[in-house]
Amino acid sequence: MGGSPMSPHGPACIKESETMPQELTFFRGEIVPASEAKVSVMTHALHYGTAVFEGIRGNWNETRGKLFVFRMAEHYQRLLQGCRMLLIDIPYDVDELCRITIELLQRCGYREDLYIRPLAYKSQELVANLKLQELSSDFVLIAVPFGAYIDVEGAIDCTTSSWRRMDDTIIPPRVKISGHYVNSILAKTEASLAGFDEAIMLTQEGDVSEGSGENLFMVTGGSIFTPPVADNNLVGITRDSAITLAKNELGIEVVERRIRRSELYLADEVFLTGTAAHITPVGSLDRRPIGSGGVGPVTQRISDVYVDLIRGENPRYLDWCTEVPLEG
C-alpha cells in the first residue's frame, strides 16, 4: 500500500502574543458575531432550498505561519453562475467577494485549516411563492475550522448508490444549488449506514457520474479518465486542478469520456477529488478491491503535489493560492 495522500492537518497552537480566534460572519453587508447572524423561520431558502453555495478551503501552513485560500476567484465565479441560474441578485462581483473573504478571515484570526462557506439565498420572508423573480436575495459568508472530510487513512471503501444522479434537465448539477444536495445526502447517508466511506453515483443511463460530493477519476493502463460534465457532475475546481497536475507533473492528458460501472472494478486506480475531500484514493467498490486495494502511484503523485501547493509550497502554482495576511 502506498503512503497516505491525505493532507497533513497541523492544528495550530495559539501563542500568547496572538489574538484568540473569533467566530464572525459576514451577514447583511457587515461582519458580525456569528451568534447575531440569524434569519426568520419564514425565509424562502429555508423552506425550498433556493440558495447557491460554495465550499472553499483555507489551508494553514504551520511552518510558514501563513493561511492560503485555494482558487478563491474560481469558486466565486461558479457561485455567481449559480446565482444566474436561480435569479439571485447580490451586489458583489468576484473581486468584491474575494475582498470580503480576506477581511473576514483576518478578523476571525484562525490559524488552522478552514472551510469557507459563502451562501447566496432567497431571503424574502415568504412561503407559497415559487416565482424566483419576485423574491429578494441576500448573501452570507462563514468560516469554520475544518480538518479531514473523509476521516480515513489511506484508500476508502465505496459503494454504488441506489440513488441515481439527477439529470441536468431536472436541476442543474454543474453548480452548487442547495436544494439539489438532498440527492447527494441520500446517497452519502445510504453508504454510511451500510458501512462504506462514500457513494459512487450513476446517471439515469447507468454511466458513472461522480461521488456524493466529489468528482471521479479512473486510471487504467497508464491513462486517466474522468466522466464528462455532461454526465451530470459538478464543474469541479479540484477536478480541474487534478487534470492540470496530471498533465504538468505526470505528462498524462486526462481523457473525458463516459465510464461504465464495471470499468471501475477492473481499473488500476480510482480517486475522488473535491474541495473538502482533496485527492481521495478509492481502495474498493462494492467490496471488490481496485488495483492493489491501496493508494496507487498515480493517485499518490497527484496528491503529494496537491497537498504541498494548496499550502503555498509550490511556486509553480502560487497563482492558485491567495495569502491572507494575519496579525501576530
Nearest one of 128, 117, 136 to 57, comparing CA atoms = 117
Look up 176 and say whether it is catalytic: yes
Sign of the Cα pseudo-torsion (289, 293, 297, 298, in order) = positive
Helix (H, G, I), strand (E, B) or coil at 37: coil
Strands (DSSP E) found in the chain: 24-27, 30-33, 51-53, 56-61, 66-70, 114-122, 137-145, 156-160, 198-202, 208-211, 215-220, 223-226, 255-256, 269-274, 278-285, 288-289, 321-324
**Catalytic site residue from 122, 131, 176, 188:** 176
CA-to-CA distance for 75 and 165, rounded, in angstroms?
A: 22
Q: Is residue 37 within 8 Å of residue 139, measured between CB atoms?
A: no
Which residue do the cell numbers 439515469 mark? 204
The x, y and z cell numbers of residue 85, run together, are: 441560474
Under DSSP, the state recorded for 186 is H
Alpha carbons within 13 angstroms on the beta-carbon side of residue 53 total 19
Between helix 237-250 and helix 297-309 the angle, nearest 10°, is 110
- State how far the Cα of 133 lies from the Cα of 303, in Å rounded to an integer: 43
How far apart CA 74 and CA 82 sit, in angstroms, is: 13
CB atoms within 10 A of CB 316: 10
The C-alpha atoms of residue 82 and residue 147 are separated, in whole angstroms, by 27
How far is residue 250's CA from residue 325's CA, in Å, rounded to a whole number? 33
SS3 168: coil
Would you name the residues annotated as active-site residues? 176
